[in-house]
Amino acid sequence: MEFTGENILEFVKRFPDDRSYLAYLSGLKRTNGFVCTKCRHTKFTIRKKNFARDCNRCHHIESPTDGTIFHGLRFGQRKAFGIMFEMTATTKGISASQAARRYGISRTTAWAFMQRVRSAMQSSKKYPIVGDVQVDEFVLGGKETLKQGRSKDSKKKKIVGAVELSEKGKVKRVYFNKIDDYSSKSLSCIFEKHISIDAHVLTNKWTGYAPLSKRYKIEQKYSEKGGSMKQMHTVIHQLKSWLRSTYSWVHQDHMEKYLDEFSFRINRSIFKQTIFHTLTARMLMAKPLTYQMIKISI
């Protein structure tokens, strides 16, 4: 039942109308089990007309979108799925302005929905990195220089990133966090969220990493203009060029959401066949957000 692949013609064929989207969501919801929100009963009947679930005890009706990020969408599932498909099946995603033009909705509506999608793309943090990992800090925005370093420019967004390497030394997974400064406390967030204490971590010689070696296996090497952490620097370059080409300007408060989107796509690049399905399933699990919550919570 799950949709696989990156082919837009297949996608359009699979989802010809709003009913097909509801059927898909309903099927996904069924795999998650059912507990009636009114009486906690666990048995239900599915209505053929709109795939709503009818509680067998109290007859409370639940639509496939109830209690999910899809609830209350004013522009319909069809456009929502289209935007999600482009955010996952493509290599670079799309900007809110592009989505607005392609789906005939306002830029604000597109932006708000895409922020909801990004919140579902956030890492579950269930699978910390255990093997080889490179950690480095860098800045985004402002005038770019080749210097990777600890800029004190407050307009620039400070980021710490971690790249997990495969056995062949290829990029396997990436994670980023926005940080306020380069103190050990700030740098520790990426370790706590994404890196196992058993991982072998390579960093540069910055003193901020030294106190973390009490808990983590850290090796500090001179950066040699990025040469000692080639994979990390390739990823930073990709991130910067993606943000520059797709998003002309990203507000400081929203940066983490864009970092989540970038990581979600890279971390699933070998699972590209199922990336759309994975995202849809995650969006069903995520709690609904209002526009105000999006603006405030990030």
> Among 55, 114, 120, 174, which residue sits at the site for Zn ion (rule: CB under 5 A)?
55
> Among 14, 30, 41, 240, which residue sits at the site for Zn ion (rule: CB under 5 A)?
41
Q: How far apart are CA 178 and CA 35, in angstroms?
A: 37
Q: Which stretch binds Zn ion (CB under 5 A): 28-36, 101-109, 160-168, 238-246?
A: 28-36
Residue 281, interface with Zn ion (CB under 5 A)? Answer: no
Query: Could you tell me the CA-to-CA distances from 179 to 115, 161, 194, 215, 237 in Å, in that order?
Result: 20, 10, 15, 20, 19
Q: Which is nearer to Zn ion, 41 or 107 (CB)?
A: 41
65's tokens: 């979108």
* Proportion of the chain in helix, strand, coil states, percent, rounded to 5: 45, 15, 40
Q: Which is nearer to Zn ion, 12 or 35 (CB)?
A: 35
- Identify the three-state secondary structure at position 48: coil
Residue 36, interface with Zn ion (CB under 5 A)? Answer: yes
Q: How far apart are CA 65 and CA 220, in angstroms?
A: 49
Residue 156, interface with Zn ion (CB under 5 A)? Answer: no
Binding-residue pattern over the window 60 to 79 for Zn ion, x denoting contact by CB under 5 A: x-------------------
Q: How far apart are CA 156 and CA 137, in angstroms?
A: 12
Specify whether the CB–CB gap between 2 and 274 falls below 8 A. yes
Min CB(55)–Zn ion separation in Å: 3
Residue 102, interface with Zn ion (CB under 5 A)? Answer: no
Q: Which stretch binds Zn ion (CB under 5 A): 29-37, 207-215, 225-233, 247-255?
A: 29-37
Q: Which stretch binds Zn ion (CB under 5 A): 31-39, 86-94, 176-184, 185-193?
A: 31-39
Specify whether the CB–CB gap between 114 and 279 falls below 8 A. no
Specify whether the CB–CB gap between 105 and 75 falls below 8 A. yes
Q: How far apart are CA 115 and CA 239, in angstroms?
A: 18
Residues that bind Zn ion (CB under 5 A): 36, 38-39, 41, 55, 57-58, 60
